[in-house]
Amino acid sequence: MESFNGIDLDAARRVAGNGFYYLMGDIARLHSAVISYARDFMINRGFTYCVPPFMIRSNVVTGVMSFAEMDAMMYKIEGEDLYLIGTSEHSMIGKFIGQTLEKDQVPQTLTSYSPCFRKEKGAHGIEERGVYRIHQFEKQEMIVVCEPEESKEWYDKLWKNTVDLFRSMDIPVRTLECCSGDLADLKVKSVDVEAWSPRQQKYFEVGSCSNLGDAQARRLGIRIKGENGSYFAHTLNNTVVAPPRMLIAFLENNLQADGSVRIPEVLQPYMGGNKEITPKNK
C-alpha cells in the first residue's frame, strides 16, 4: 500500500493513536470499489440493501451477544445508553426487536453497509503495524431472519455468497468450520472464510458465517406468527467483505511482477475502467 502512496499510518497515529489509518489515492478508491461491488453483488442475489444505525442501545447489545464479548469489543458512549457497533449485524438483527412477523414476511434477507468500531486490545505480531487488526473499518454484511426449519439451508447459502464473491475477484479462498468448543456464545454453527496470503504462505480469516438458531430471537423477542400460535425465528449472519483486511488478500493475489496490481474485470467499472494501478514509489 505504501508503494502506491495509499496508506499513512504515521499521520493516523498522530491524529488518533495506534489502530487507525489514512487510506489515500488508488488504494482508497479500491477500498470503496470493493464495498460498492459487494453491495451490488448481494443485491443481485436478492438481498435488500440497508444502511443501519451505527449506534445501538444496551438491550440490543445484550440481545445479540454475550456480556464478555461486549466488554471485549464495544466502545461505550459516555453518559448515554449507546454503543458504537462492532459489526452491522447487531443493528440489523436489532431491527426486529420485539416484533412478531407474519409467515409471508420471512425470510428477511438484508445486506448492510456500515463502519465498525472495535477495541481489539493487545499486540498481534507481524500484523500490529498493518491493517489486519484495527479499531475502525468498513464492512458489507448480510443477515437472515427465517423459519427454524430453513436456517440450515440459509447457512450454506450465506457462506457460499462470500466464497463466490472472493473468487470472482481472483482471490483463492477456503472455508474452515469452527469446532463446537471454539464457538462464541449463542452460536449453533459457524464457518470462517479464509483467503490465501502469498506473502505469509497461509490462509487467513476474511469473514465469518454463523447460524445462531433461536438464541438471539429469544433474547430480543423476535417471533413468527404461525397457524397454531407464534414461535421464535432463527437468525444468521455473514460477512460479505470487510476492507481494509480483505485488501491484503486482494493486493497480494493480484500483484504483478512489475509491482503494479491487476484490477479484475468485475471491479473495473467501479475503478473508472482502469485495468491496473501502478506504484508511485519503488
* Catalytic residue positions, numbered: 118, 133, 205, 208, 245
All three cell numbers of 193, joined, read 472464510
3-state SS, residue 74: coil
Cβ 232 vs Cβ 214: under 8 Å = yes
Cβ 244 vs Cβ 137: under 8 Å = yes
Query: Nearest 5 degrees, angle CA 236-CA 240-CA 241?
Result: 140
Neighbours of 273 (CB within 10 A): 8
- Cis bond upstream, residue 243 (ω within 30): no
The DSSP result for 230-281, as a single string, is EEE-EEEEEEEE-TTHHHHHHHHHTB-TTS-EE--TTTGGGGTT-SEE--S-
With b for 16 or more beta-carbon neighbours within 10 A and e for fewer, the 80-106 pattern comes to eebbbbbbbbbbbbbbbbebebeeeeb
Alpha helices (H) along the chain: 9-16, 25-44, 58-64, 67-73, 88-94, 151-168, 215-220, 245-253
The CA–CA distances, whole Å, from 80 to 7, 94, 106, 253 equal 34, 18, 33, 44
**Non-local CB neighbours of 118 within 8 Å, separated by 6+ positions:** 73, 74, 86, 134, 135
3-state SS, residue 165: helix
